[in-house]
Every structure is written in C-alpha cells, then in structure tokens.
C-alpha cells in the first residue's frame, strides 16, 4: 500500500464546481479509484487548520469553498468511526528526534477532526453554534502565527541591515545584497533554520514536562541531521528569504504569510514513508512543486491534475 496527502489547495480544487451535496458521490468515486490502486489517503493537521480558519466566519469570501473542501477532506480520509491523520509538525519532530509523544497536540488535532466530522458530514445550525468558539480560537491562532511569521522576517531584515526601513535589504547596495544572499545559501544558514524548529520543539517538551533540556551540542547535531532528512523544508524556507533579498517582498501582501503553512507541509514532501509505506504529496502550489523536484522528490510530488489523471478521474484544466 502507498499513502497520499493532499494540500489545502488540492482539496479546494477537488470541490471546484460541486455543491455541498454533490461532494458525497464524487468522493465515493475518488476513494474507489484509490482503493483499486491500493492508495490510502491521509489528513494533514495543517490542512485542516487552514480550511477551518476560513470556515469560522461566514462573511469570509472563502467560507463555503473551504467548508466544501473540509467535507471532501473528511470523506476522503475517514468515515463515521475513524480517520487517518498524520502527525502535526511538532509531533513529527518530537517523535523523530526526541522519541517523545505530545498528548496535548494529539488532543488538539482530535478536536479539529471532530469539528471537521460534524460540519462536513452532519452540518446544522446547532453544530455551527456548538463549535463556533473553537473555530474562532483556531482562526485566531492561524492569524497570530502568520503575523508572527511575517514579523520574524522584518526582524531579520533589521538584523542584517540596521538602516532598513521596510521590506528591502540594502536597497542601494548590490554588493551587500550579494553578501547576504551568499550567507543565506550556506550550510550554516540551513542549520540555523533547522535549529529554529528543533529548539522550539525541545523547549515545548521541556515546558510540558515531557523531556529534559538537551545540551546545545546535541541540538545542533539534530539540526544538522534535520537538514539531511528534510531538505525540501529548508529549500522552501530559504526561498522566502531570497524573495525578500531580491525584491520588495512584503510578507503582509498577497497572503504571503501563508508560506508558513506551505513550509510546514514540506515536512511531508520527499523520500519519506509512513509505517514503511511510500508517501506521496499532491499540491497545486508551484513553489512546493519546484522545491520538491529540485531536492530529488520528483517521484513523490504530484500536481493535482497529474494525480487525478493517474487514479483515472477527469483532471481539471489549469486546476480550475
């Protein structure tokens, strides 16, 4: 058996042109095709989080599309009694590098899946009212995380160019920009980016009483190992920095802070397995595709159209 994950946009494409009620029969066909090919779909907690953030507010322009996509996601990967869920990024790192589970994160993921189950399979005014508080909390968490992510780049700009006043790094000094770019492309920079996640998870485990604080040398060794196991994560993360160096790339414009979730999803892209079974990733995002291919993951990354054609379903033109 092989496993497959859809990203957020793939699920949005999946429900394009379909009403809420039409999704049931369509997903039956999709699952039947996958079963014939011995493919088991898995849910990414990141995708659930992103979709439900738009479901929280009915005035959100993406509300209905994301509600439909939430239904498709649950029908794709679950039924009335169970669902197939991947570990969240923190849980993945905690297990892979510290051999520790995070019960609190597991409970959060279960709570999100309960919302997806009820709103997707048994929608009602009562269900919406029942889960509104948790939907709002999830939306606020997503927005706060994206804002923190964008702010981290402003802080980095100030660190490398104290004279910077906006989103440009050394706007009048090409030589300095080249220097910053060379440093970004170094192995040291990759290790630092990996350390940001490794240190964060270690801190979470220590504060939760799940692990002892690790020596810095051990955490750095883990960070070096991370860059080897998850080069796709590092590659996409660095691309955001490169965009900022090469242009006035305001992270608050054009939903660019959403890159946070794309980068986290890259932990599932590449030559990885789940319980020894090959893991495929379906995306409509060109940046994810290109960085995966550039890091030798071309046999596990698929466009939405490629995957739908492979399982024998009609593909969409230009993903629409």
Each residue's pLDDT tens digit, 142-197: 999 999 999 999 999 999 999 998 999 999 999 999 999 999 999 999 999 999 99
If pLDDT is split at 50, 70 and 90, which confidence band does 319 have? very low
Name residue, tokens 């030559």. 271
Residue 6 host element (H or E): strand 2-6
For 5-39, the pLDDT digits (tens) are 999 999 999 999 999 999 999 999 999 999 999 99
Judge contact between 298 and 21, C-beta under 8 A: no
Reading the block at residue 48, the tokens are 């659930």
Question: Do the strands 277-283 and 301-303 form a parallel or antiparallel pair, or are they unpaired?
Answer: parallel
Instruction: Give one word for 93, left, alpha or beta, with left for phi > 0 and alpha for psi -120 to 50.
Output: alpha
Would you tell me how many other CB atoms lie within 10 Å of the CB of residue 260?
22
Percent of the chain residues topping a pLDDT of 90: 82
- Given a cut of 70, whether residue 316 has pLDDT beyond it is no
CA 188 to CA 201: how far, in whole Å?
A: 20
């Amino acid at each position: 058996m092989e496993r497959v994950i859809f990203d957020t946009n793939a699920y949005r494409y999946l429900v394009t042109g379909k009403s809420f009620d039409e999704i049931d029969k369509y997903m039956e066909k999709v699952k039947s095709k996958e079963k014939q090919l011995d493919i088991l779909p898995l849910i990414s907690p990141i995708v659930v989080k992103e979709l439900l953030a738009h479901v929280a507010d009915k005035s959100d322009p993406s509300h209905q599309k994301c509600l439909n996509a939430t239904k498709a996601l649950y029908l794709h990967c679950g039924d009335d009694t169970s669902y197939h869920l991947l570990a969240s990024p923190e849980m993945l790192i905690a297990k892979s590098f510290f051999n520790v589970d995070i019960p609190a994160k597991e409970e959060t993921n279960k709570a999100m899946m309960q919302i997806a189950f009820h709103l997707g399979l048994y929608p009602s005014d009562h269900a919406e009212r029942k889960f509104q508080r948790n939907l709002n909390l999830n939306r606020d968490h997503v927005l706060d995380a994206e804002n923190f992510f964008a702010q981290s780049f402003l802080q980095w700009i100030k660190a490398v160019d104290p004279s910077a006043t906006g989103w440009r790094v050394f706007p009048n000094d090409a030589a300095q920009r080249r220097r910053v770019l060379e440093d970004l492309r170094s192995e040291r920079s990759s290790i630092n980016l990996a350390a940001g996640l490794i240190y964060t998870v270690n801190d979470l485990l220590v504060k939760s009483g799940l692990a002892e604080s690790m020596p810095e040398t051990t955490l750095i060794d883990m960070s070096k190992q991370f860059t080897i196991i998850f080069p796709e994560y590092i590659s996409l993360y660095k691309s955001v920095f490169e965009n900022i160096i090469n242009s006035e790339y305001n992270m608050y414009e054009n939903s660019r802070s959403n890159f946070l979730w794309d980068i986290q999803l890259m932990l599932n892209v590449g030559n990885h397995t789940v319980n020894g079974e090959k893991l495929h990733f379906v995306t409509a995002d060109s940046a994810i595709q290109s960085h995966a291919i550039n890091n030798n993951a071309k046999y596990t990354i698929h466009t939405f159209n490629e995957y739908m054609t492979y399982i024998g379903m009609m593909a969409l033109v230009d993903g629409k």
